[in-house]
Structure 1
């Protein structure tokens, strides 16, 4: 039901606690099916019989000096079409996402977003049954840190 959903803006600051990321500016994209996170390198590996992925993240916009090294279990590998219609095979992780006081697990694809303004994009699947998007608003769950 509508009243059970939190209202968020077209951009929000989100946390990725399992990846060691306190805050990343995220574009809320109702036109995208899946969520995407910036990863400037991605390496798949196996440990104790589990498929894992290691990747580097620049969490701050316009900052390629700050790096967070992340490790997560590999959930899937999928072919994804970007906004320009280009198809790309991407690694998918399942990770907790925090927006305001709501925390939930979501599938997130890993791709290089160095040329994009936002380091993360939250797609429809992650928003379903949780949020209503106000396209006039920004950072309704908290202002980004300077």
Structure 2
């Protein structure tokens, strides 16, 4: 007689909209609007002055300015990453570009998760952060008729806690 294996229940996927307010805690961004893009494989963050340098100990690092001076949340901070990849990524225009990719945390629906982000100049794009399907897969379902679902969820959670 065959033994039945009990599978752990799959976590319920949360519904998100076509745009969401997210936080990037390790990058000191408490709230920024992100476009949800199921056509994009990798998530992306708008950076300017992206370049590679050699650190004092001889290791290669990448240096970037998060966002750019025209963005309201620009904070003049130069960020340095010792751990990164250089990958070929297809742009929204279909051209393959070499881009630096980092791992950092993102907060959505009060949940902090680690994700990969390509660093690119998105100054000609409306949204500085793009959430691609690698981050979405297995966690979220996108309802394109909605937006800022996670922010509304966050507000409800705060109200629930204040009413206790």
CA offsets 1:80-128 (integer angstroms, 9 cap, x no match): 1111111210000011111121211111000000010000100000111
Structure number with the higher strand fraction is 1
In structure 1, distance between residues paired with 2:11 and 2:68? 32
- Does 2:36 match 1:11? no
Gap runs ≥5 in structure 2: 1-8, 153-164
Partner residue in 1 for 2:93: 84
**1:101–1:88: structure 2 CA closer, same or farther, 3 Å change rule?**
same
Max radius of gyration: which structure?
Answer: 2
Aligned mate of 2:42, from 14, 30, 34: 34
Structure number with the higher helix fraction is 2
TM-score by length of 2: 0.76
Cα RMSD of the aligned pairs, angstroms, is: 2.4
Gap runs ≥5 in structure 1: none
By relative contact order (CA 8 Å, sep 6+), the higher-ranking structure is: 1
